[in-house]
Chain A
Amino acid sequence: MAYAYLFKYIIIGDTGVGKSCLLLQFTDKRFQPVHDLTIGVEFGARMITIDGKQIKLQIWDTAGQESFRSITRSYYRGAAGALLVYDITSTRENTLKIVIGLSLMFRRDTFNHLTTWLEDARQHSNSNMVIMLIGNKSDLESRREVKKEEGEAFAREHGLIFMETSAKTASNVEEAFINTAKEIYEKIQEGVFDINNEANGIKIGPQHAATNATHAGSQGGQQAGGGCC
């Protein structure tokens, strides 16, 4: 299917916070309670519409586990958006299931690690990358360890967008992905993003190249992506 733009997203955050589940919920509209640990990158894609324009989201779901993480840093290149995910419960029970024998994660750890993730993201991505902070597992209210206000405060302090989501119930999942795209789209309209610079993680669909190239004040109408998905 033809698209006007392609945005590259990267999903990052500690292991077990629900990155792959968020992706699956967004692309397939289903929840899979048990998911293999991600190693390397798993890909997803979906078309969305913003301002009447078809936008293809190319989503890179990365490994959260420390031992697989070094590779993640090389994948920030060319990302237009990042979803930085933590677990609002982040209980020992959850993480013990996942991090077998490697390290014990304690309450709130996935929230406490956000600073490290953010530093990594800022260091390895382009400065205009839009970052959405996501507190996942909002369905587990009774086990909440991180208040919503804390997430909001962190996001405000670091200039991020913020949402709480539940990959299980699909609450706010669409919104998280789409609001990130809206933010990127607005930056394109404002000329913040040079859409002809591949490093910004935005590609123009071929049939739109000529008409949209002026948005960011750059010319060239770079052909990209083949216009199909």
Chain B
Amino acid sequence: MSKIPGLPPEVREPGPGVELGVEDGLLCQLIHSPEFNLFSDSVVFESIFIQVTKPGNWMDDCEGPTTVILGVTSSVPSLPLPNILLMANVTWPQGQFSTWSTPGSAPVITLSRILPLKYVELRIYDRLQRILRVRTVTEKIYYLRLHEKYPETVFQFWTRLVNILQRGLSITTKDPRIRISHCLVPKLPCRSAETSESSLPSSSRPSESSMLLAAEQNSDRFLNLSGTSQLTVHRNTNSATEIETFNCKDNTSSPASSPVISNIPMRAALSHSLWEQENADEYHIQAPVASSLGENFWGP
């Protein structure tokens, strides 16, 4: 719908997600722009895909491939999982598909759909060809091949996201002592000792899959203990009352979360398993809070 005009310069120091084009990207800038002003406090994880037919061919040979941006975000920034899928069409003013990186060839981004993720199933369709399958509850199916410009790491992020969405949040805790890494894309190695233990780009971490597995295994344990299939836990920065209500400042962990905390390197295992705000400084003021705020936002 909108060509991205001269956008304001980044204020924050761009992280690896920005450099990879999966955070603060074109779609994020569009929905956060005054024209839409949507989910302005939430992080958007996004990538450019080429829509393909099932075997992995170009969708439309006559008019060139259909390029889309797929993104996920949260209606409420403190939700632990993304709950919104965004789809946008990408066109180039002069059909300059091959000149993505050419300066001055800014694409036109048209937001086409917003879907609640609960009505969408994301699946990895073909790892080698980097194809994602998006199926809605109305059986609309898209096969989307990650744009070739991205390194393998980006498809690993999508794979991780698919795993998270399928299995739910691996681990959660009400204990504010537990420090949680805050986004899907890992941060670069730390500027402080506090973050140094966990934050390396996934491509450089051979043990990543084992850690993810550890988190998932513990997730199963946690789910067994809690008896719930999905947890609606998030942090609320504004409501001290609510934090107190849920005893989040209490240093005694709940029985459900204790075994998880004690048995695995939490920060390492969690660093890729949560979708939360990026600002590490907020750790101390934002404790995870069990609340139905997120449900109410969409609720009847």
Contact = CB atoms under 8 A, between A and B. Distances in A.
Contact of B116 (A6, A36, A39): A39
A228 interface: yes
A6 B34 CA distance: 10
Interface string A33-50: 000110111110100000
Interface stretch (B95-103, B133-141, B219-227, B229-237): B133-141
A225 B35 contact: yes
B136 A224 contact: no
A225 B115 contact: no
Contacts of A226: 2-6, 33-35
Interface in B127-184: 136-138, 140
A71 B116 CA distance: 8
B73 to A, nearest CB: 13
Nearest to B85: A40
Interface string A209-229: 000000000000011111111
B162 to A, nearest CB: 19
Interface string B275-300: 00000000000000000000001111
B64 to A, nearest CB: 19
Contacts of B300: 70
Interface string A66-96: 0010110010001000000000000000000
Q: Is the interface on chain A under 10, 10 to 19, 20 to 34, or 35 or more residues?
A: 20 to 34
A37 B34 contact: no
Kindly name the residue among A6, A37, A39, A68 whose own CB sees the greatest number of chain B CB atoms within 10 A: A39
Given A36-B140, A71-B298, A43 B1 contact: yes
A83 B49 CA distance: 33
A228 B7 CA distance: 12
A50 B2 CA distance: 21
Nearest to A72: B298
A19 interface: no
A225 B4 CA distance: 9
Contact of B112 (A6, A39, A42, A224): A42
